Structure 1
Amino acid sequence: MIKTFGLASGLALTCLLSTSHLTMAFAQGLTCTQPIKVLAQPRDGLTLLETYQDEFKALSGTTFQIDYLNENDRRAKSRADASTVGNYNVYYVDEANVALFASSDWIVPLADYFPAEYDYADFDPGRQKVATYDGKVWFAPLTGGGDLMVYRKDLLEAAGVAPPTTLEELLAAVPALTDTDAGIYGIALRGARGSGANVWRWMPYFKANGGEWFVDGKPAFNSDAAVKATETYLELFKYSPPGTQTGSWDESVGSFLSGQVALLVESTPLSGMAVDPNNSLVVENVGFLPPPAPLPGGGYGHGLAIATKANADETAKQCAGLFIAWATSKEQEQRRLEAYQFGELNRTSVITSQMFSDIYGPALGQALADTGKVTAVNFWQDARWPDLGDRWGIILEELINGTRTDVKASLDELEAYANELLTQ
């Protein structure tokens, strides 16, 4: 359960560390003269950040301006801006478009402009993997996560089922935990089409069975691993609540929070919601573990990247890098923790802190640290991924709702589409 926590010690630490960074910035002789313009989508952490304009001005000599658009509009405008006029110094990017931005030279590698004292290595290992493309880091995380198994301790105990730690145990536990007469389902999945919906939840099973997107440079989407993953996903859907077959995150997570579901493997923001009495009816009975092995956590992340066009010289790039480092610093994460912004905590030092434990409980912090180690990039890191993933989402949805029945033929169709996509 989320607990109220005294903030004096955290605020004192924030002030101390901010002063330290301020001293280092001036010691390096960096003075920024032009405001940092940022294109982003709404995030509570960024709104909180704007209340500290004076702090950044004291640190850098300049101010910043954040323009907000919803996710789809943000993606469209950032593509248009990056490829033409370049009005923004910093872009908000995500796992779905970082490959496009990096391969198009619309953003620059972050490492050379992220001051060492801001400790990039402190970010959750899974977030770091998602921020890396072609061997280089491109953004600093604002939000993200992997997968966590969240389960009802009371339901598992009543059924005599131990929390599953392997995929084999999961497959045995889910039917045993299902009691439709009582309105209880063993698991909740995502059925709605989309690279970030049903495909996102299918991918860990694909990877767990040894699936690879490419073998020897050629698509391998209709492999035995893909067939097995799809059959497993469809089998598990027999024990998923009504509504999830056509639903996505909201339906899957909502069914757990309302008490209908014994366990599910979902993106880590769910875990904070599960222990928040404002969101969850099962607060007192929630347990956490990493995904059952060998399921990898589905890594995703959104963050801030340095634009190429608007930062024409090294000083401009350094100023943009300083803003990103400050905006994603330990101090800012501490403030977000104090404001109970669970979904915007990305740093290991914050997630494993005593304050985090006091607010969310020690079990959750340990589970998040453990799942970070098995979080992986499951999707194809390519600018064409959303197109391919969305096509598979349509096909997979039809398999889930029964308008298709032949798994292998469906995957053969995806394979043909992938080969067409590669020629474009």
Structure 2
Amino acid sequence: MTSKPFDIIIVGAGIAGLAAAVALKAPGRRITLLEQSRLNREVGANISLQPNAVKIAKRFLGLDSYLFGDASIGRGVPDKAFLIYGTDDKLHMRIGLETDQYGEDRICFHRVDLHTGLRQAALDSGAEIKTASKVAKVDVDAGKVYLESGEELTADLIVGADGIRSAVRTAVVGHDQGALPTGLSAFRTLIPIQDLQGIQGLPQGVELGASQTLMIVGRNCRLVMGPSRGGTVLGVVGLVPDTEEIKGATTWNMEASTEDFLKSYEGFPEWTREIIRRSVEPSIWQMRDIAPLPAWSKGKAVLIGDAAHAMLPTQGQGASQSFEDVEALQYFLRDIDASSSEHEVQQALAAVYSARHERASLIQAYSREQAKPGTSASGKVTLNPREFMDYNCKYEGVASWLAQQDSKARKQPSVSSASVASAPVSVLTS
């Protein structure tokens, strides 16, 4: 007689949800992902996985062949250097990102490629993806998910990976924890490298499409660009203060004109403005995050990714923190199956929050801090990505992290988490 499987419903088939499906695969488990869209439209921009996430993807999730290498679905590009220029075209900082620093490279992806690779990995793991399945309500105590279609689903575990507008989060915290405007918006475009031929005046050391990320900083704006799709596409992100149009808009993201994009970058070097002129279907997104939550789990439900700790892209850690979340779920749920009691499940979920909350909240807070202008009143570049990178990128997984924290507590029992929060900050962007 076949025993009942341990049923897991993952709400949201984005980066966090798909990674969770891979992480939670185990004998006796049945995993279903619910996605409100039909997954049939390519949208997005470039995104990076930082070394902390790449280590998890390879060592704990087995995603090497799906995401990394020229023959993979992900077609990720290793980022070997991070260069910061001022609007005077002077190189203010070059940071090498060699593998031996943090154990793995920083890898840049087209968001669609990263998502497609993860989706294939989830399907290959045996997960089922149900599209056009928008969640209307969640009962975390009963383990029930109610769809807008009227369908009702039951699970032993509900993973809320449904992003910054999470329905599962509302059920976990007991009210609608609204997203917070941060005063910052981002122009985004993806430009084929072949369309950028002939651009004149590039500073020494700059090669469009090379394995490097560029940031040009001026006033209260930043322009960030880096490759994806094996170096065939240049992703460009322009971080700017909110425009009046987007402040009054009913949506967080809108189509944008190249003229509006250019207007925000008056006074920037001509070569950067020429890149903007060659934008392909630019859009503008209002950047929002959420306040740290008092809990990530309740009953049979747990939150991960943006549903738990949505953050700005100014340290490039949004997707990477999702990978840390799913590895923590994998670790603490490793012995959970259909024979486990509800109390055992809840203990495991509480352990995820205990292990992850302080670190994710600190990175979340500093991501907002780094949204502030990157130059002084005199125009001097004040950003320093070298700072705080060790904290971000040396992470080796939750078991190693807990051992380190335990060791620190024994050696320095009087040191509080508040002292960690005074550390300097990185500004790597996704």
Q: How would you bin the TM-score normalised by the shorter chain?
A: under 0.3
Give the structure-2-normalised TM-score: 0.26
TM-score (norm 1): 0.27
Whichever structure has more strand as a proportion of its residues is 2
